[in-house]
Chains A and B, each alone.
Chain A
Amino acid sequence: MFGLRYLPGVTTLQLDAELCSGCGMCLNVCPHAVLASAGHGKVAITDRDACMECGACARNCSFGALSVQAGVGCAAAIIVGALRGTEPTCGCGDGEGMSCC
């Protein structure tokens, strides 16, 4: 890890080991090495608190073994969403000059 860690015990990431085939696709897409091979044809969540809920693993698991409530970890997006009564909305590129990314 690169020294910066966010809040522990919050991620919604879930792995259903029954469905996991151990193909390793999730290991390729996770930007924070949350998962690792557990041997005997399975992966395991080995650094749960590093998960940023980007959703890459779940979207790319063809066995449906991973689930996460994906979203942007952005306070401004949560405020915008709360004001509009929608889900957290990243304003990037909406022409509002908001450019968090």
Chain B
Amino acid sequence: MKTADTSWFEGTVGTPAGDVPRVRTSLTSRDRRDAVALRWGIGRSAYTVPPGLYAVGSPSAESVVLVSANYKMSFDRLRRELSGIDAWILVLDTKGINVWCAAGKGTFGTDELVNRVEAADLGQVVSHRRLVLPQLGAPGVSAHEVRKRSGFQVVYGPVRAPDLPRFLSAGMKADPEMRRVRFGLADRAAVVPVEIVQGAGYALLIAALFVILGGLGPDGYRLDHVLSVGIPDAILVLGAFLGGSLLTPLLLPFLPGRPFAWKGMCMGLLVTLALWAALHGLPGTPGALALAAWLTMGSALASFLAMNFTGASTYTSLSGVRKEMRFAVPVQVVAVTAGLVFWAVARFTGQQG
């Protein structure tokens, strides 16, 4: 259990409601190592902070109360920005999910916040009645309802923790930039590893299948075709996979169109054409049908993967994703089916790759 790690504790702070554990504002190499592992999807579910009240620095009854999620990466991002600041951190039980996703699910929500304020006896710990929440908690929390039920006023802080010290020193005022969610290259690159880890198993399975199927042909099963057809086909599968789950996210703003499925399809065509040229030389009539097979299948695969990246993005709406799926999913199904037919015809009429 990762929760047994206590290296981020640093004594306690006494309050009328009992001792509150103090946490460090500097991350250890272990915190950082675990964060990298999390990005690759390792140990995600076990990586939580026990919910409840924590102290940073030497907070008093007047000190600010910052609310966070019990996903360790959310908690770490908050505390590392707080050096030199005396504050309380109230950690909600979001089942180890980050603030924004938990707010969408309602676990970072009004009920949990009101209950946690009560369980921590916060009214005894601080003399003011104010809670600073990350702005991205707002989809789950109703500020006016929290006030009605707990007496505490909710103030929404900035989207990003690094802006928090500036927000606090400005008297809890956020400038417009602090309120905006971005999705820059670094943000996109940070969510790509999980996409790759999730899809890699399926991609390798499909690639392996095509290595084996590559031996098929009009004159029975031939091992030399496994090498000359199967391996190149597997490379095309993996290329389309990386086109959809790595290149499309990274190059998102530069790909044509707004639907993710469309962006992915374009990338799939591009990657397949480039790999085909590298593997078999410039497209010509002998391999035309096989090339058509891979252009349709490759673009459909990349399109599907790119479409699934909507969930990792920060700006797609449910209505919008529904709309693009109504068009994209049937097209993907038809493309894969047609591609498989082309592929089979190409194989059994003896057309080389």
Contacts and interface: CB of A to CB of B under 8 A. Distances in A.
Contact of B259 (A7, A72, A101): A7
Contacts, number: 161
Contacts of B313: 4, 73
A38 interface: no
Contacts of B144: 60, 62
Contact of B317 (A10, A29, A90, A97): A10
A36 B258 CA distance: 25
A99 B98 CA distance: 11
A91 B138 CA distance: 20
B310 A75 contact: yes
Contact of A10 (B41, B181, B319): B319
A84 B329 CA distance: 18
A33 B159 CA distance: 13
Contacts of B183: 2, 4
A56 B138 CA distance: 5
Contacts of B105: 90, 92
Interface SS, A side: loop
Contacts of B194: 99-100
Interface string B177-189: 0011111100000
B197 to A, nearest CB: 9
Contacts of A6: 258, 315-317, 320
Contacts of A17: none
A25 B153 CA distance: 13
Contacts of A53: 317-319
Interface residue range, chain A: 35 or more
B198 A28 contact: no
Interface centre among B181, B308, B318, B324 (most CB of A within 10 A): B318
A14 interface: no
B320 A7 contact: yes
Name the 4 nearest CB pairs between A and B, nearest first: A74-B311, A73-B316, A71-B318, A56-B138
Interface of A: 2-8, 10-12, 25, 27-33, 50-56, 59-60, 62, 69-78, 88, 90, 92-93, 95, 97-101
Interface of B: 41, 44-45, 95-98, 100-101, 103-105, 135-136, 138-144, 156, 159, 174, 176, 179-184, 194, 198, 252-253, 258-260, 307-308, 310-325
22 contacts: A2-B182, A3-B253, A4-B183, A7-B258, A7-B259, A7-B317, A11-B317, A25-B143, A28-B174, A29-B135, A32-B181, A52-B317, A54-B138, A55-B139, A73-B313, A73-B318, A75-B321, A78-B322, A93-B45, A97-B41, A97-B44, A101-B100
